[in-house]
Structure 1
Amino acid sequence: MDEETHHRNQQPAHRDADVVVCALCGTSADGESAPPTWICSVESGRHQYFCEECARTHIRAIESRLDSAWW
């Protein structure tokens, strides 16, 4: 099964009209995809994006693989 077929029906969480939004602070990214400095986390089967500032603030929890509910 190719990647396009496998992921076709899965829409990332926190997307509003093709704009990626930080799951913590609500900052929106320009364009259809998150900038390379943003982090994407899969929690409970949902994609969550975190902006550079939130990612830096919570980097130890992210590296420890704690769900964002624990931050």
Structure 2
Amino acid sequence: MTCHLCGREEHDAAALLTWSTATEGGRRRAFCDACSRRHLRAMEGKLDSEHW
């Protein structure tokens, strides 16, 4: 899997457990653990209030 933001590649299935995914415009996007942590506030800001 490749991170949509930084391009990091990961092939270890256990390591992928820390990654986050999203569907944007009908396309699945994956984000590595570092990018997920770095952009957590922006991701939360896109959620409807029922999710938080």
- In which range does the TM-score fall when normalised by the shorter chain? 0.7 to 0.9
**Aligned sequence identity (%):** 41
Q: CA deviation at 1:31?
A: 4.2
Runs of 4+ in 1 over 4 A off after TM superposition: none
Query: Which of 39, 53, 56 lines up with 2:20 in the alignment?
Result: 39
- Looking at secondary structure, tell me which structure has more helix per residue: 2
- Looking at secondary structure, tell me which structure has more strand per residue: 2
Runs of at least 5 residues in structure 1 that lack an aligned partner in the other structure: 1-19, 67-71
TM-score (norm 2): 0.78
TM-score (norm 1): 0.58
Distance 2:20 2:6 in 1: 13
1:64 aligns with 2:23: no
Q: CA deviation at 1:30?
A: 1.1
CA RMSD of aligned residues (A): 2.1
Tell me, what secondary structure is at the counterpart of 2:2? coil
Aligned residues: 47
Return the structure number with greater relative CO, CA threshold 8 A, min gap 6. Answer: 2
Runs of at least 5 residues in structure 2 that lack an aligned partner in the other structure: 48-52
